[in-house]
Structure 1
Amino acid sequence: MDKELGKRDGHFNEQDLDAITSKIGNLSKWRGIFSQQGLQFKDTVVKQKYPDSRKVEGESEDGAGASPGGSAKPSGYLVQFNAPYSIPKTFLVSTSLGGLPITLEEAVALRKILFGTAFQVFNYEWRKSHFRFRDPYSDLSYALEAERGGARSVQMAVQAFILKHLLFTRNSEVEDHNDKRMVKVSKKEQEKALAAALSDILWTAGEGAQSFVCLVTTECCFAPAINYKIDTYTERLQLFSFTDKAKLQQFVMEQIHCFKGEGSHGAILFLYSLLFSRTLEKLHKDLDHTTPYLLQLSLGNFTCRQALINLMLTGRASPNVFNGDLQSDDQGNLLRDPQHGILTRGDVGYLYWNRHEMDRDKLPQVGSMLKTPKLPIWLCNINSTFSMLFSTKRQLLSDWKMEHLFDLYFYTGQPLQAKAVKLTIDTHSHHWEEGMHEEEDDPEKRFPSVLMTVRTKWEGAVVDWNGTIPFY
């Protein structure tokens, strides 16, 4: 009776305290076991008065938990542990594979170039992102599925290089039949195209000298530190170095499941590989005072800054889209810090349009280096959402006569799109059509976004959707 009264009064005897201490010890032991296996606990809170009540997540979407100045959990709540979120063992490589373990200093530098701080980690949307193809032999068998989120720009940039490989690299002598061959891509060809695309981007970032591939192993590479927040995969990275592109592509192909498998963190691993291939030192030289790091928080998610987009497309993390480096301002005054633009024309191009900027004179002026790539493939940033425009005809950019009337395919990456839309572009003068929709109140109806995006490259062009109801 006294013992029960003691508990109700908030007091415990020595035997009770020993039992509690033992349970805490067991909890620490299991946390260590989970950590050794690459697993991570996620805190949840439940009402103490109602043990069967629904659990309320205590961790924010980005996995950061409460902010330093945030309010504490209300009284009457008890911290418990939920099932861990981790990379499945099937995607963890052995340390005997021959890579170099990441150091604490490299992990901190990696976080800072991405987020500006080593205490920020990727949120759930990024962690679940990987490179998932549509069904083999379907109308979109060549295409990646990219859901809305910050990693979509990474997935669609890789999609551009997949198209490069499928259309203009493999069996290029049968280019005239590209339209039909695009729907005959097998699962094995999908994997080869993905390996070729990833390797192509990494090799360009490494300037054709040395590139890295980052994979997650079963063991931590460094001890926890107060200046770094653990995420259970960055601190387990092994870096594999390559000075031969063919060997790089072969290795990526052998480990392709680590990039395309669900739960593999494939988009993050590719991003890490890209940054190490460029090297952190060169990344700081690429950036100027306008862009201190590569990701920015937008609408609750981390999105890629222009410098990261340019890094994937050109191999250099230039923060701007104009040609060359800007040394002077509009008045001809020498800038204290030059602004870095695009120095070379790449295989894949870039187009930009945002309807919220159409009346403001804030639209970035994309230079010819990005607008006119070597191949007719463009990564498009339309209203802050990434998509693709591409042609199956290599001659489109080399024969001016072909630019009078030609077809482009438009693909958004969204799961609901069943096939790429075939757009017919007419670049002849149609001045009489300019006033057809002037009475429309909706700017999107007067100036459809896809049309305006195309016009940033082909001024005055008209777009025929060939029977498809315009949806973009």
Structure 2
Amino acid sequence: GFVFSDSESTALEQFEGGPCAVIAPVQVRCLYYRNGLKSVSDLSEEEQKNLLCHTLCDILEMACSDNSESYCLATWIRGKTTEETASISESPAESSRQEEQPSALAVEELGFERFHALIHKRAFKSFPELKDAVWDQYSAWTNRFGVLLFLYSVILTKGIENIKNEIEDATEPLIDPVYGHGSQSLINLLLTGHAVSNVWDGDRECSGMKLLGIHKQATVGFLTLMESLRYCKV
């Protein structure tokens, strides 16, 4: 899940490989919004909650289609009192502090089908309704599988067909099935709301093919070491 560091109150921690493609865009937007806070050296838990939820809402709002005002969240099904959901709700940060407490189940242990049987899609017709739900679900974002639930929420809000239409190669996965690396399309989706495969300004044509790019300046973005070598221009 999205867990703030004890030593740096605005930094999100990553405990294992895989979710960096989602955590990094959320982190950079958190850093952008923290400039408006009076104090950034030592945020209270309530300030951390507001910072994270505001960031998640902003990304979901960007992902929403221009001609649609429907937002979606992937959440745990209410009323589930099974051992699986009890273990899932365990925070990884708390588990690391209390070794005697059993850690949350991994996806492999929970099972692919069982995991998806425990979640469902919630739809919202207005942004204020979405904001209330994101704040109410704060514990879900900060606990085990919180990053995955948010990724599902972005994909559902954007729409699978819309993502396929924007990705240059419809067969390209958003996450590499072997190494778990996030694709450029996934990074662009979380940064700009558009799952295009390229980072240049506007669309380009190459040998009769239309290659989609970024149409307007994003609020936040990334720099790359390749720029200093002139392999990439930002």
- Secondary structure at the residue paired with 2:198? coil
Once the two structures are TM-superposed, the CA of residue 316 in structure 1 deviates from its matched residue by 0.3
1:296: which partner in 2?
A: 176
Write the letter of the residue equivalent to 1:339.
L
Q: What's the counterpart of residue 397 of structure 1?
A: none
Of the three residues 164, 174, 187, the one matched with 2:32 is: 164
**Which of 247, 255, 259 pairs up with 2:129?**
247
Instruction: Map 1:63-462 to 2 at 5 A.
Output: 130-135=1-6, 138=7, 140-147=8-15, 149-168=17-36, 181-207=39-65, 209-217=69-77, 218=80, 230-261=112-143, 264-289=144-169, 292-297=172-177, 301-328=179-206, 334-335=207-208, 337-354=209-226, 358=229, 363-366=231-234
Alpha-carbon shift at residue 322 of structure 1 (Å): 0.9
Cα distance between partner residues in 2 of 1:321 and 1:290: 17
Distance 1:290 1:325, change over 3 A: farther
Q: CA RMSD in A?
A: 2.5
CA shift at 1:323, angstroms?
1.0
Question: Aligned with 1:302: secondary structure?
Answer: coil
Contact in 1 for aligned 2:226/2:232 (Cα 8 Å)? no
TM-score in terms of structure 1 length: 0.40
Deviation at 1:281, TM superposition (A): 1.1
CA contact (8 A) 1:326 1:338 kept: yes
Does the CA-based 8 Å contact 2:174-2:185 persist in structure 1?
A: yes
The structure richer in strand per residue is 1
Structure 1 runs (4+) greater than 6 angstroms displaced: none
- The amino acid of 1:211's aligned partner reads Y
CA pair 242-254 structure 1, distance change in 2 beyond 3 A: same
Contact 1:204–1:314 (Cα < 8 Å) also in 2: yes
Following superposition, the deviation at residue 246 of structure 1 comes to 2.4
Cα distance in 1 for partners of 2:76, 2:54 equals 21
> What is the Cα deviation at residue 320 of structure 1?
0.8
Hey, what's the Cα distance between the residues in 2 that align with 1:161 and 1:270? 15
- Partners in 2 of 1:249 and 1:206 — Cα distance? 14
Q: Distance in 1 between matches of 2:148 and 2:113?
A: 12
TM-score, normalised via structure 2 length: 0.77
Q: CA deviation at 1:258?
A: 0.6
Q: Work out the CA distance in 2 between the residues paired with 1:341 and 1:234.
A: 33
Unaligned stretches of 5+ residues in structure 1: 1-129, 171-177, 220-228, 329-333, 367-472
Deviations, residues 358-405 of structure 1 (Å, cap 9, x unaligned): 5xx7x3444xxxxxxxxxxxxxxxxxxxxxxxxxxxxxxxxxxxxxxx
| Percent of paired sites with the same residue | 27
Alpha-carbon distance in 2 for matches of 1:275, 1:289: 17
Consecutive unaligned residues of structure 2, counting only runs of 5 or more, are 82-110
Q: Displacement, 1:198?
A: 0.8
Q: Secondary structure at the match of 1:202?
A: helix
Deviation digits for residues 243-272 of structure 1 (CA, Å, limit 9, x no counterpart): 3222212211111111102xx201110110
Q: Report 1 or 2 for greater relative contact order, CA contacts < 8 Å, sequence distance ≥ 6.
A: 2
CA offsets 1:404-438 (integer angstroms, 9 cap, x no match): xxxxxxxxxxxxxxxxxxxxxxxxxxxxxxxxxxx
